[in-house]
Chain A
Amino acid sequence: EDQVTQSPEALRLQEGESSSLNCSYTVSGLRGLFWYRQDPGKGPEFLFTLYSAGEEKEKERLKATLTKKESFLHITAPKPEDSATYLCAVQAADYKLSFGAGTTVTVRA
C-alpha cells in the first residue's frame, strides 16, 4: 500500500527563519509527487509537481526537491503569509493520489 509520511507535524518559525519540511514515501510506480498549500477550511492550492529524482522546482520563497525516497519543501526567509498547512501527495501508476497528513507552518512576525 502506498504511504506518505510528513514531518514535522507542526513548525513554528520566526519571520525570516528558513526551514525545511520532509515528505517520505513508498509507492508502486511513481507517476508524480505533488506539493499543495491549504489554508484552514479551504481546498488545497497546487504548488509543485515533481516527476523524477533530482528534479527541483521553485516559486517565490518555496523550493521543492525530490529523491527516490523523499521530497523536501524548503521555505526561505518566510513571511507571516506563508503560514498554512503544506500537503505532500504521491500518484501511483494506477492514478490514485495518496496524501500525507501535512505539516502546519506558523510564521510569527
Chain B
Amino acid sequence: DAGVTQSPTHLIKTRGQQVTLRCSPKSGHDTVSWYQQALGQGPQFIFQYYEEEERQRGNFPDRFSGHQFPNYSSELNVNALLLGDSALYLCASSLATSGDTQYFGPGTRLTVL
C-alpha cells in the first residue's frame, strides 16, 4: 500500500526565486492538505484541496498557491521566496468521506539563502 510521497526531498533556493513542491496522496485518498513546519514548531496549515478546488486556506499570503490534478496529486507553489520560508513542507492526504484522518508524507526540506 503506497503511502503519501513527496518530491523533492531537499531543495535549496535563493531569495526572490520560485519553487514547486509535489505530492502524491495515499492510494484511495481524494483530499490533499499542505503544511509548513518551522524548526521546533508544530505544522501550520496552508491550504486544502478537494475535487481540484481549494476548499480551505490558512493565514498564508497569496505567494503560496496550489493545484490539484484529476489523479488527486497536488503541487504547492511559492513565489518571491523569503528567508522566512525556510521550513519543512508537509503534504497530508485523507478521504473526504472517511472521518478526515490525515496521513502525512516525509516532507520537503526547503532552504532559502
Contacts and interface: CB of A to CB of B under 8 A. Distances in A.
B91 to A, nearest CB: 8
Contacts of A102: 41-42
Given A31-B100, A97-B102, 20 more contacts: A32-B100, A32-B101, A34-B101, A34-B102, A36-B104, A43-B106, A44-B104, A45-B104, A46-B102, A46-B103, A46-B104, A51-B99, A89-B42, A91-B100, A95-B55, A97-B33, A97-B45, A97-B92, A99-B44, A101-B40
Contact of A43 (B41, B55, B58, B90): B90
Interface residues of A, number: 25
Interface in B94-113: 99-107, 109
A61 interface: no
A96 interface: yes
